[in-house]
Amino acid sequence: MSIKDPNEDEPHWTDSASDSSDDDAGETSDNKDNKTSTSKTKAASRKKRRNRKKQRRFKARRAGRKNRHARSADPNIRTILDTGTDMEIIGLGWHIDHRWAGHSMTIDGPLEGMNGKEELPIVAGVTAHDTKDGPILIGIGVTAYDSRPKQEESLLNPNAISHFCDIDERPMHRDGRQSLITDCGEVKIHVENSRLPYICTRMPTQRELQLLPINWIVPKCETVLKETLI
């Protein structure tokens, strides 16, 4: 027979399974947080890589467009601003937008390669000029057209076209803009040998003709046609 000591404490039983399950739950929650954080980091990294690829592709396309424009812009093809010409004449680098049927003009050889007087058709033409912000389309609604393959220079009379558009031939060192001003931007005027003003022009692409507005510095209308041929 055993006698229980009244001063002896009752034994305390510990639920080891419960404690271990709590620890497991805590570890599982931490693991989930770590996995979520890792997945978010990977997603952000993938997004950055995609953005970098898009930027590289965009820069490559933009550089390609600039290279194509540079290749297509022949430095010999230009449009000269000549106050002495009686009629605007266009050659290479111009897209024929409209032909004024039945109308022509006799031109007395102002351009290189012309032999005496020649009968040239009257048309409406469009050319492109490249700026740092993109190409600008310039239109002449009534002009003579010289279709010879070697006709690289075109002629515009700045006094005549100033009736329909703004043109500032003053050099920049004299507080001038030295530009043909259009609604889509300024067309830079260059000067050769301090005497010959001209603008760089090229043949516009079909996409440019479809998407870009045409700045008609001489309107394409019968009123101007009649006034020009008087």
Q: What is the largest CA-CA distance in the chain?
A: 148
pLDDT reported for residue 68: 47
- With helix as H, strand as E and coil as C, how does the chain read? CCCCCCCCCCCCCCCHHHHHHHHHHHHHHHHHHHHHHHHHHHHHHHHHHHHHHHHHHHHHHHHHHHHHHHHHCCCCCEEEECCCCCCCEECCCCEEEEEEEEEEEEEECCCCCCCCEEEEEEEEEEEEEEECCEEEEEEEEEEEECCCCCCCEEEECHHHHCCCCEEECCCHHHCCCCEEEECCEEEECEEECCCEEEEECECCCHHHHHHCCEEEEECCCHHHHHHHCC
User: Measuring CA to CA, which residue among 104, 79, 109, 106 is closest to residue 92?
Assistant: 79
> What are the average pLDDT values for consecutive 10-residue runs of the chain, which has 230 residues?
51 50 52 64 77 67 51 72 88 94 80 64 95 92 90 90 87 81 89 86 95 94 85
Q: Model pTM? A: 0.63
pLDDT reported for residue 42: 74
In tens, the pLDDT along 200-214 reads 999 999 999 999 999
pLDDT reported for residue 67: 47
